[in-house]
Amino acid sequence: MNSPFVKPTPAFAASSARARLAPVTIERRAVGPRDVLIDIDYCGVCHSDLHMVNNDWGMSAFPMVPGHEIIGRVVTTGAEVTDLVPGQRTGVGCLVDSCRQCEACEDHLEQYCAKGFTLTYSSPTRDPGGLTFGGYSKQIVVDRNYVVKVPENLDPAAAAPLLCAGITTYSPLVHWKVGPGMTVGVIGLGGLGHMGVKFAHAMGARVVMITTSAHKGEDARRLGADEVLVSSDAQAMAASMGRFDFLLNTIPVPHDFNAYMMLLKRDCTMCIVGAIGPTANLNTAPLIMGRRTVAGSLIGGLKETQEMLDFAGRHNVVADVEVIDIATINEAYGRMQRSDVKYRFVIDVATLG
């Protein structure tokens, strides 16, 4: 059944760049024939939420309701939606629309849409308010093509970060065919890195956490790493040259990639998923001398995101989370800047009232 208008929806928003988030009321669009109305239960807090609120990438629009790691249950669906029912657990990730016609969209790679995808928040829309509003809110209306099914056996709060951190790490691991018999290095142990360790371990690879901090070793092993390589230990790094079949680099800030390239075997790849933007000069000698590759990867398409969730359900892969009251979101942002979270904040949306 369709409602002519979704009732006003409580949310938290930033009114301008670097503003503190505060309670607001937004409106969601009417439920159309292909739409799904979702009551949001949990929303992960991604580091990109902070970047967007601060307008660090120069693309933010305000007022902004962040949140693109959304877990909730179906309230109602449009007449043309036949595979989702009220009460079903669902998820919404980083995008809610794309052109659906370009080569990337036809290949189920909507994240590389040639005409640009529509972000779950802060993108122009015909919806009330003129901008998409994200998951720091009680409800959301999303086209069925951009809604995924979440396995019921997963802890819903811990599953929320799968919609961004999970697919961001899963997608390159699958693309480069990580599996048994391979040695995979995950560089950086944070929101992305800890998911990379869990997924690579579940795929059957030998997983090495590569970190500057030796004290993270115990946690890395708890998450599924077989061993730890401290990158500031020159002797250990030298001993590991030419050892890795794949490197997943999750460090979220610009840094020197050169220190890691010689860890790769010939014809192998280091994929960047954390740092966005210019970085230090890249020494091409290790690439040329070993036919090595530096690549990048951006989330995943909707088909692959569903595959990731199904894989997570089978292997019980979820994030390590700290569930918070939405009233503490500004303090959580401050803690996130200090890397004071293991490893992802998740908002209990019931605390929104």
φ, ψ (nearest 5 deg) of residue 315: -105, 5
* Reported pTM: 0.96
Same domain, 185 and 225: yes
Q: Residue 158, SS3?
A: helix
Same domain, 80 and 189: no
Cα separation of 194 and 270, whole Å?
A: 17
Q: How confident is the model at residue 5 (pLDDT cuts 50, 70, 90)?
A: low
pLDDT over threshold 60, residue 2: no
The answer as to whether 308 is a domain residue is: no
* Mean pLDDT of the chain, nearest integer: 95
pLDDT over threshold 60, residue 1: no
Alpha helix (H) ranges present in the chain? Answer: 47-53, 103-106, 156-159, 165-175, 191-202, 217-223, 234-239, 258-261, 285-290, 302-315, 329-337
Query: What's the whole-number mean pLDDT along residues 219-245?
Result: 96
Same domain, 138 and 173: no
Q: What is the pLDDT of residue 277?
A: 83
Residue 157's CATH number: 3.90.180.10
Query: What's the whole-number mean pLDDT along residues 14-35?
Result: 97
Amino acid present at 173: L
The answer as to whether 1 is a domain residue is: no
- Of the chain, the percentage scoring pLDDT greater than 70 comes to 99
Q: What is the pLDDT of residue 44?
A: 98
What is the longest distance spanned by two Cα atoms in the chain? 67
Query: What's the whole-number mean pLDDT along residues 184-198?
Result: 97
pLDDT over threshold 60, residue 178: yes
Residue 198's CATH number: 3.40.50.720
Same domain, 17 and 69: yes
Same domain, 195 and 237: yes
Domain of 240 in residue numbering reads as 166-296
pLDDT in tens, 116-165: 999 999 999 999 999 999 999 999 999 999 999 999 999 999 999 999 99
Q: What is the pLDDT of residue 280?
A: 75
Q: What is the pLDDT of residue 316?
A: 97
Same domain, 152 and 98: yes
Same domain, 116 and 180: no
Same domain, 193 and 129: no
pLDDT over threshold 50, residue 276: yes
87-96: b (≥16 Cβ within 10 Å) or e: ebbbbbbbbb
Query: Do residues 347 and 136 make contact, with C-beta atoms less than 8 angstroms apart?
Result: yes
Q: What is the pLDDT of residue 3?
A: 52
- Total Cβ atoms within 10 A of residue 73: 15
Query: What's the whole-number mean pLDDT along residues 212-219?
Result: 89
The answer as to whether 303 is a domain residue is: no
pLDDT in tens, 63-102: 999 999 999 999 999 999 999 999 999 999 999 999 999 9
pLDDT in tens, 237-248: 999 999 999 999
Same domain, 322 and 281: no
The answer as to whether 61 is a domain residue is: yes
The answer as to whether 309 is a domain residue is: no
Task: Give the closest residue to 43 by CA, choosing from 137, 132, 122.
Answer: 137
The answer as to whether 337 is a domain residue is: yes
Same domain, 141 and 47: yes
Q: How confident is the model at residue 6 (pLDDT cuts 50, 70, 90)?
A: confident
pLDDT in tens, 286-308: 999 999 999 999 999 999 999 99
The answer as to whether 305 is a domain residue is: no
Same domain, 30 and 159: yes
pLDDT over threshold 50, residue 13: yes
Q: What is the pLDDT of residue 7?
A: 80
Same domain, 135 and 204: no
The answer as to whether 154 is a domain residue is: yes
pLDDT over threshold 50, residue 55: yes
Q: What is the pLDDT of residue 132?
A: 98
Domain count, the chain: 2
